[in-house]
A and B are shown apart, each in its own frame.
Chain A
């Protein structure tokens, strides 16, 4: 069974600054994937970034990057140059290669970007 834990229920940041959201996970899978999804007030689930566990290089997508520490089972999301549109709930999720890819989500972190 997989578990995902997000220990920060809420975070806030000033516009243009950098913020890091934390996530830890546990899995018995040898091959797995990690994701960050954004859920704005519309409640749509939007993929932010994905990381394949067998890749050592941290994934990057424009202003979003991850710090993947496999031994520590940690997968944090860094948002640089925060924008007002980044205000949303952020979910960390994992999927395993042997379980038809079902996603296991963390509890979420509400991020507020202040002007």
Chain B
């Protein structure tokens, strides 16, 4: 069964450093998403991506964040200068024509 994959599973970085989180969505899906979950809190929407551009973004998704689909398979989230408060679980999700999103296993980001 097709699934969304994410790498790395855990990323540790120093405050101020840039990180890139990678995702491979399900191959025939058209819509891609990033969500964030701070430990013990609810899952929050960051950004949606369709037809090679951002279709919607939340207030959290400020100028420090960017997304890219550099080729036909990868979907990346970049944080330019990480802050302590960026420590969270980051989930990638994708969906096809139906409205169901399938999530990857997540990347746990720890900013020191």
Chain A residues at the B interface, C-beta cutoff of 8 Å: 33, 35, 37, 42-47, 50, 52, 91, 93, 95, 97, 99-108
Contacts and interface: CB of A to CB of B under 8 A. Distances in A.
Given A35-B100, A44-B105, A104 B91 contact: no
14 contacts: A35-B100, A43-B37, A43-B106, A43-B108, A44-B106, A46-B103, A47-B102, A91-B43, A100-B31, A101-B48, A101-B101, A102-B48, A105-B42, A108-B42
B35 interface: yes
A105 B56 contact: no
A91 B56 contact: no
A104 B31 CA distance: 16
A105 B33 contact: no
Interface string B22-53: 00000000010101010001111100101000
The 7 closest A-B pairs by CB, nearest first: A45-B103, A100-B55, A105-B43, A33-B99, A100-B48, A102-B45, A105-B42
Contact of B100 (A44, A50, A100, A105): A50
Residue picked from A42, A93, A101, A104, most chain B C-beta under 10 Å = A101
Contacts of A43: 37, 89, 105-106, 108
Given A46-B103, A100-B31, 17 more contacts: A42-B105, A43-B37, A43-B105, A45-B93, A45-B106, A47-B101, A50-B99, A93-B43, A100-B50, A100-B55, A100-B56, A101-B48, A101-B95, A102-B56, A103-B35, A103-B93, A105-B44
Interface residues of B, number: 25
Contacts of B103: 37, 44-47
Nearest to B54: A100
Contacts of A102: 33, 45, 48, 56
Nearest to B102: A47
A91 B33 CA distance: 17
A97 B45 CA distance: 16
